[in-house]
Structure 1
Amino acid sequence: MRIGFVGLGVMGRPMAANLVAAGHELSLYRGKPGLDGHHCESAVEVAERAEVVVLMLPDTPDVEGALFGADGVAEGLKPGSLVIDMSSISPTATKSFAQRIEALGADYLDAPVSGGEVGARDATLTIMVGGRPEVFERAQPILETLGKNITLIGGTGAGQTAKVANQIIVGLTIEAVAEALLFAEKAGADPAVVREALMGGFASSRILELHGERMINQTFEPGFRIRLHRKDLGLAVQAAAELDLALPNTAATQQLMNAAIADGDGDLDHSVLYRTLLRGRS
């Protein structure tokens, strides 16, 4: 297929590389050269050259700008084109973006991902999709090139809602693991041995396995930058206010992430919350 890809960062670059390896013809924008494909000068050029445009951008304003800004994707779409937004952004904004794209005669899916840089590289991402079933079916060959656990959650915006829920669970679990290992260490136990013991019990999790090891070794290269995870928890807190819903632990974890960023750790892995808590103890 002729695929346009906008956003070649930590996640987008390996995802685009997997599409190239699968034999798709790519038009690329917003990233350093080095990938096979046609490197475009604008998002509108990407849309003009492609049947399907994939977005993988940091935040809601980035997606809005890429779609509807000057020389944006919307200006180059043809009737029957498909836009797949794989960024993690506001569910409310996603519904508005989809309506505007569909008014141009094109189709739209929100399809945010979980799995981090490793999942992007290994094509094992979890992909949570919102949109019409027939559009999802059309997009499946692309999604199956990028991930393993691919689920149509519901209508437009449902994929983003599922991703926000995912980020709540991940963020709060990272914070819980950080507290537990810090407690073990300060109580005089070897946190590495404690972690190993917990991995055989009910507290076992992928986060305890991977991020727990990062915390013990204090190796915080991303991974997934805590700055981006804070943004995702901000989406959760904002949506909770709109729903008159209390998410107290989500809000507290977002505040810890604010502290980590204030400490200069914003571009480190979200497991750096361990160091934030350690600093708070001093």
Structure 2
Amino acid sequence: MINNIGFIGLGIMGKPMAGHLIRGGHKLFLHSRSGVPEELIKEGGNRCATPKEVAQNAEIIFLMLPDAPDVEKVLFGHGGIADSLNKHPTKKIIVDMSSISPLKTIKFADRINQLGCDYVDAPVSGGDVGAKNATLTIMVGADESVFDKIKPILGLMGQTITLIGANGAGQICKVANQIIVALTVEAVGEALLFASKAGADPARVRQALLGGFASSRVLEVHGNRMIKRSFDPGFRIELQQKDLAIALSCASELGVSLPNTAITQSLYNACIAHGDAKWDNSAIVCMLEKLSNHQIKN
């Protein structure tokens, strides 16, 4: 049984996820560039000064970081995880739950494997609500034997846990997930804006749609945020924009056309240009409203 666990990255998602592991009976070694939250220490977590220190104490190390450069720095930078792995006799497991490029993931996995350790990409879907309620969907890229070893631990953080394939496959699945989510968020924004401009109560429209074929988790959660103008993250616009950039970059290399993804990405780019990068991604409706008002004025 794996008892000593490391967790690096304790933001909106990572903090509740680490809490579930502590309450699941594991000893947690924690590090975050923004500092380790005191409530996790009070629950029994152990503060570490560097990712290297986390890796020295843990059998399995989870990462929940914003982007590939952050993952690379934690893994291979000065004081990073790799500084411990190449001097440690125990075969450890690195589980990256961040959402990053599948191509970068495969490169990181190769480097970790060369140090004699296992690598898992396990990005998640479900947002801050799923992280708090331990109901995340977890998409895994790993060897089957490694997956079987860590699945009970993943089960403390998520509800639907699927082995997609080898390293990189989890991230490929997450890219597909983000395409669907982002385009659906944009579609919900358009629909509720249309309803409002046409003179209907968007809250009642949303309620009716939740009982029909247009029903979705996005309509339920993000539609409600749009109506209530509640744009505290959540999943920030800048992260959604980053994920769609990964999708479009990978698609370009594969020779795949993603026209609606590109259009939605342009709207998120505009949100960022208007200073809304830190808002929840449901705030794309604000950009749709600005474009609508501009057309009316013209």
- Give yes or no for TM over 0.5: yes
1:143 is aligned to 154
Q: Deviations over 1:130-158 (max 9, x none)?
A: 01000001111210111010000011100
Aligned twin of 1:96: 107
Distance 1:206 1:6 in 2: 29
TM-score norm. by structure 2 comes to 0.93
Q: Find 2:62's aligned residue among 51, 54, 64.
A: 54
Residue range with higher mean Cα deviation, 96-105 or 216-225: 216-225
How far 1:32 sits from its partner (Å)?
3.1
Q: Aligned match of 2:222 in 202, 211, 214?
A: 211
Structure 1 segments (4+ residues) deviating >2 Å: none
Matches within 5 A, 1:13-92: 13-30=15-32, 31-34=35-38, 35-36=40-41, 37-77=45-85, 78=88, 79-92=90-103
Query: Share of identical aligned residues, percent?
Result: 59
Contact 1:126 1:149 in 2 (8 A): yes
Measured after TM superposition, the shift of residue 25 of structure 1 is 0.6
Between the aligned partners of 2:111 and 2:122, the Cα distance in structure 1 is 17
- 1:7 pairs with one of 3, 6, 9: 9
- In the TM superposition, residue 81 of structure 1 has moved relative to its aligned partner by 0.4
Higher mean alpha-carbon deviation, 150-159 vs 254-263, is at 254-263
Gapped regions of structure 2 (runs ≥ 5) = 294-298
Whether 1:226 and 2:228 are equivalent positions in the alignment is no
Letter in 2 for 1:26: L
- CA shift for structure 1 position 261: 1.2
Identify the residue that residue 247 of structure 2 maps to in structure 1.
236
CA-CA distance at 1:33 after TM superposition: 3.4
Task: Give the root-mean-square deviation of aligned CA atoms.
Answer: 0.9
What residue identity is the alignment partner of 2:64?
Answer: M
Give the match for residue 292 of structure 2.
281
The answer to whether the Cα contact below 8 Å between 2:30 and 2:36 also exists between their aligned partners in 1 is no
CA offsets per residue over residues 43-62 of structure 1, 9 Å max, x none? 11111111001000000000
Mapping of residues 155-170 of structure 1, within 5 Å? 155-170=166-181
Partner of 2:141: 130
What are the equivalent positions in structure 2 for 1:170-185 lying under 5 Å apart? 170-185=181-196
Deviation (angstroms), 1:260:
1.0
Q: Secondary structure at the match of 1:145?
A: coil
* Corresponding residue pairs, total: 282
Task: Give secondary structure in 2 for the equivalent of 1:240.
Answer: helix
- With 197-206 and 43-52 compared, the bigger mean Cα shift is at 197-206
CA contact (8 A) 1:33 1:39 kept: no
Q: Matched residues in 2 for 1:94 and 1:229: separation? A: 18
1:193-224 CA distances to partner (integer Å, 9 max, x unpaired)?
A: 21122111111111111111111121111111
Quick check: 1:261 aligned with 2:272?
yes
Letter in 2 for 1:137: D
